[in-house]
A and B are shown apart, each in its own frame.
Chain A
Amino acid sequence: MSAYVEVTDLRRRFDVSKPWLNRVIEREPRKFLTAVDRVGFAIEKGETFAIVGESGSGKSTVARMVVGLLPPTAGEVTITGVSMTDPRQAAARRRLRARIQMIFQDPYASMNPRWRVGKIIAEPIRAFDLIRGEGAIRARVGELLGLVGLHPDDARKYPHEFSGGQRQRVAIARALASQAEFLVGDEPTSALDVSVQAQILNLMRDLQDRLGLTYLFISHNLAVVRHMATRVGVMYLGRLVEVASAKDLFAAPRHPYTRMLLDAVPDLAHVGRARVPVSGEIPNPIDPPPGCTFNPRCPLANDRCRTEVPALLDGVACHAVQEGRA
């Protein structure tokens, strides 16, 4: 147990059954959606671990379980050795909470529109009782605004007076207000325009260098992940299919899904590229294919892939790679 964040065998099942009466009348069994299935990874202090995947892959569900917004069905998350689920560690967890913060995709939805930005940023300071005295709190808010590239006077404005990028800066300032050291960003730049996205990504990297932050970065955008991450986990239908350092993953992807994904991304370097796109779409997660969930779309699938779930061994969950067929 040395890593900053340890996620072991994490699972989350959602009940998507019809109401009881319908089930009785239509004689239907309960239905479950396994959003996250046996996911495990570790994040070292000061690094950026990114999870990429398409919609429905379960990446946001993992993020929510890591910060404790959603209880896992099974498995465990420990941060600095403190379990996020064990009731016996409640006191230690309460002390840890201030150091974990989340940044969401839509900064406007995560702020009270009737509060001035100064009050929004001061909220975690008051909630955790970090600083006492109005003057001292105001000074700290001004300092935080400066840290994210805004002006201390902006504390008097309301969220609607800011542009999307500035609002995301406010969200980051609020996350840092409680002296957070671990930030979980769920698509933090997906709602922003590219030039503004560049500002926020650069800011997040600068803050990491200055404050030694640890990031869990959730994104569907591979180019953004490449820019931000030290290590990357690729998710497909609730399972982690490949974990590798960002360098290795982008230079030599191993899992057939990762290869397909990297090949599919439209990129500036591909002017007028003609290619053979992969066939098929992500199957319905309520009724996933047996065996390896990627097998209906995989060019390397054989009988074993259709029956047996591959385990994540040496950073890749693929029978073809493990058997040396890839």
Chain B
Amino acid sequence: MTETILSVRDLTVAFDTRRGPLTAIDRVSFDIGRGEILGVVGESGAGKSVTGSAVIGLIDRPGRIAGGEIRLRGERIDNLSPEAMRRVRGKRIGMIFQDPLTSLDPLFRVGDQIVETLRTHTGLSAKAARTRAIDLLAEVGIPAPERRIDGYPHEFSGGMRQRVVIALALAAEPELIIADEPTTALDVSVQAQIITLLKRLCREHGTAVMLVTHDMGVIAEAADRVAVMYAGRVAEIGPVASVIAKPHHPYAVGLMGAIPTLSQEAERLSQIPGSMPRLTAIPKGCAFNPRCPKVFARCRVERPEPIPVDASRVACHLYDAAERAA
């Protein structure tokens, strides 16, 4: 693998409540290399967005990072002071959220918002920053950027607004971009444009991307590798082609079978009985064991650790050498 940009090891995020701490993220580990797009996929409550928030240091109280470490180019960023983290955010880590309107200030022209980011993080002069902002808008495919730069967010369509947010995220040439459901609020035809744009820009700039989404189709098209999360844990992580075509973890197998696709018509979709456990009631052992078709005694008592299977890492006792031999 090329140079590692983001390295997350045993990340644990807990939310303190009156009834004691709830573990939302439980010992999650992954790496993202230069120019690589890691898809983080899971159903609601899987902890994918909380993982993204933890990386950019935006876990709000009562949540807190309860263990593990996050390194950006080898440097720890999970224990930085809020002031130091504020400088990392925007400069070294860019962010794209689901709803572009919440990332843009409705009272400021989009150009001013990009110029502000550029001046804060790069120290360009006002004039140079404006020229650069026009270049950025052109790069993300906004027509007539020298005119549109003076428009307000409400004058842009949904897809164009998301392009502005991408320009804003890229402004300070960050090493890493956290994209949390960047295409979920958009219509399919616009969604395709944004995915293509994101892919091209990461390749050109060598930016690492953590793409958080519930949409496996988006992951399939955009990501290089994918981490499938379940109940705050990584069930399986590996190259996108192999996780989709030949998933190993029973949850990943069920998830892929449950997704209707355009390419083939299935009489019935495979369904996983039950639903994701609540944080207050995560089962002992493997979190998936009550819904798993292949559950056996060990799954109910011992939590599986990720083990290498083919090109992936899978947290499932089925793939343990001892179980295979038996």
- From 243 to 268 in chain A, residues with beta carbon under 8 angstroms from any chain B beta carbon are 250, 260-268
B window 180-200: CB within 8 A of A: 187-193, 195-196
Count A-B contacts at CB 8 Å.
Answer: 143
Query: Hey, what's the 0/1 contact readout for B208-230 against A, CB within 8 Å counting as 1?
Result: 00000011111011101000000
Is A33 an interface residue when CB atoms closer than 8 A count as contact?
no
B269 lies within 8 A of A227 (CB) = yes
Q: Is there an interface contact between B189 and A268, defined as CB atoms closer than 8 Å?
A: no
A165, CB-defined interface residue at 8 Å: yes
Among A55, A197, A227, A282, contact of B266 (Cβ-Cβ < 8 Å) = A227
A306-B271 Cα distance, complex, nearest whole Å? 47
The contact of B261 among A199, A267, A272, by CB within 8 Å, is A267
Contact status of A194 and B255, CB under 8 A, knowing A202-B268, A202-B271, A278-B192? yes
* B90 within 8 A of partner (CB): no
Q: Determine the residue in chain B with the shortest Cβ distance to A276.
A: B196
User: Which residues of A are found within 8 Å of B191, using beta-carbon distances?
Assistant: 264, 266
Known contacts A223-B260, A271-B241; decide if A281 and B157 are in contact (CB<8 Å): yes
One digit per residue, 1 when the CB lies within 8 angstroms of any chain A CB and 0 when it does not, for chain B 249-282 equals 0000011111111111110111111011000000
The answer to whether A267 and B262 have CB atoms under 8 Å apart is yes
Contacts known (A193-B43, A272-B240); A202 close to B269, Cβ less than 8 A: yes
Contact residues in A for B222 (Cβ distance below 8 Å): 266
The CA of A281 and the CA of B216, in the complex, are separated in Å by 23
In the complex, residue of chain B having the shortest beta-carbon distance to the beta carbon of A166 = B275
> Closest residue of chain B to A206, judged by CB?
B268
Any chain A CB within 8 A of the CB of B169? no
Scan residues 40-57 of chain A and give those whose CB is less than 8 A from a CB of chain B: 54-55
B120 on interface, CB distance cutoff 8 Å:
no
Most chain B beta-carbon neighbours within 10 Å: one of A165, A201, A220, A269: A269
B262→A250 contact, CB < 8 A? yes
B260 touches A282 (CB 8 A): no
Whether A195 sits at the interface, judged by CB under 8 Å, is yes
Across the interface, B262 reaches (CB within 8 A) one of A195, A205, A262, A277, namely A262
Residues in B whose Cβ lies below 8 Å from that of A193: 43-44, 214, 275-276
B residues less than 8 Å from A279 (CB atoms): 193
| Alpha-carbon separation in the docked complex, A270 to B188 (Å) | 15
Q: Mark A198-233, 1 if CB is under 8 A from B, else 0.
A: 110110010000000000000011111011000000
Segment 262-297 of A: residues with Cβ below 8 Å from B: 262-273, 275, 277-279, 281-282
B33 in the interface (beta carbon within 8 A): no
> CB distance B268 to A264 under 8 Å?
no
CA distance A268 to B241 in the complex (A): 9
Nearest Cβ on chain B to A302's Cβ, whole angstroms: 22
Interface residue? A322 (CB, 8 A): no
A267/B263 contact (C-beta < 8 A), A163-B275, A261-B189 known: yes
Chain A nearest CB, measured from B236 CB (Å): 15
A196 within 8 A of B: yes
Interface positions, chain B 5-49, Cβ under 8 Å from A, are: 43-44
- Which of B269, B273, B276 is A201 in contact with, Cβ under 8 Å? B269
Closest to A199 in B: B271
Tell me whether B153 is interfacial, beta carbon within 8 Å: no
Known: A201-B269, A266-B217. A281 touches B195 (CB 8 A): no
Q: How far is the CB of B4 from chain A (nearest CB, A)?
A: 21
Given contacts A273-B221, A277-B196, whether A195 and B271 have CB atoms under 8 Å apart is yes
Note all chain B residues with C-beta closer than 8 A to A262: 262
Give residues 140-199 of B contacting A (CB, 8 Å): 157-160, 187-193, 195-196
A and B contact pairs by CB, cutoff 8 A, 7 listed: A195-B43, A198-B270, A201-B269, A223-B260, A223-B261, A226-B260, A270-B220
- Which residues of B are interface residues toward A (Cβ below 8 A)? 43-44, 157-160, 187-193, 195-196, 214-218, 220-222, 224, 240-241, 244-245, 254-266, 268-273, 275-276
If A195-B43, A266-B188 are given as contacts, then 11 extra A-B residue pairs at C-beta distance below 8 Å, sorted by A number, are A194-B214, A194-B258, A199-B273, A220-B187, A221-B260, A223-B259, A265-B262, A266-B195, A269-B264, A277-B192, A281-B157
